[in-house]
Amino acid sequence: MASNILKSSSLQKVNSHIYNRLGIHIPTERLYLLESKISRILGKGGYASIEDLVAALEDGHPASIEALATHVTTNHTFFFREESHFSTLADRITEARTAKPVIWSAACSTGEEPYSIIMTLLARGLKDFLVIASDVNPIVLEHMNRGVFSEARMTGVPTKFREMFFNPVDDDLYQILPIIRKHLRIKKINLMEQVRFESPVDHVFCRNLLIYFDRRNTGIIVGNLVRNMKSGGHLFIGKSEVLLSPPTGLRKLDGSVYIKSRDTE
């Protein structure tokens, strides 16, 4: 099956849908990376061939689009990744004395990032805040909603936080406590589509995502993020990332933290 997929002219069509719907750019010379992923989509989705998958995508069938999001997106993350961002966020909220701050953790995979934000803010004594956690992949959203992590996934969680915010449920499993969950709202969001919240958020985390996108689609994603931020809000990106063309009104504070200085459309 895999060799037939690689030789199929429909492979480039699937790649075009990945680019247009999810924003992920896979160069022609690296299309072999899609073989096993498309094989899983065909098997689990009941498609007889890659041509059937292409037909479903071109007809806009939700299940086919969701299958791409599930199998093609990258979901590597861990607790307190690039830890200084969390303390910087807490400092900004405390200094500004923001009432009921809302933080958007975009493309957050299985939830380690938003849970890290919540733990940090609670440990700072903040009690009235909300974290919106979003991703395009429904499978990782289910994992986040369960809030159960193995010992291997708990690397980076300080001992005091384990004791404060987790309940051991097995020899190798830890469950997030309700005190954490009450600050979390989970949403399925595709950052390549038009995103408009009812009210703008105070700060946005979108880290280690933009490295997978070309300049055009990075602009679309960052535009969505900034459009939903309040003036004075901060955008945190990955420390290995850089915005080559930040939208008007977005000013760099340091290499990976930006501030929105005025309304940006």
* pLDDT at residue 3, rounded to an integer: 54
- For the chain, the domains span 1-72, 83-260
Q: What is the mean pLDDT of each run of 10 residues along the chain (265 residues)?
A: 62 90 87 86 88 91 89 88 96 93 97 98 97 96 96 94 94 94 97 95 96 92 96 96 89 92 59
Whether residue 10 contacts residue 51, with contact meaning beta carbons closer than 8 Å, is answered with yes
pLDDT given for residue 262 in this prediction? 62
- Fold (CATH) for 83-260: Rossmann fold (3.40.50)
- Residue bearing tokens 């997929």: 5
Residues 6+ apart with CB under 8 A from 87: 120
- Written as six digits, the tokens of 264 are 């940006």
As a whole number of angstroms, the distance between CA 165 and CA 179 comes to 7
Q: What is the pLDDT of residue 1?
A: 47
What is the Cα 198 distance to its own chain's centre?
20
Check if the beta carbon of residue 64 is closer than 8 Å to that of residue 57.
yes
Query: Residue 142: what pLDDT?
Result: 96
Determine the pLDDT at residue 30: 84
Residue with tokens 């969001």: 189
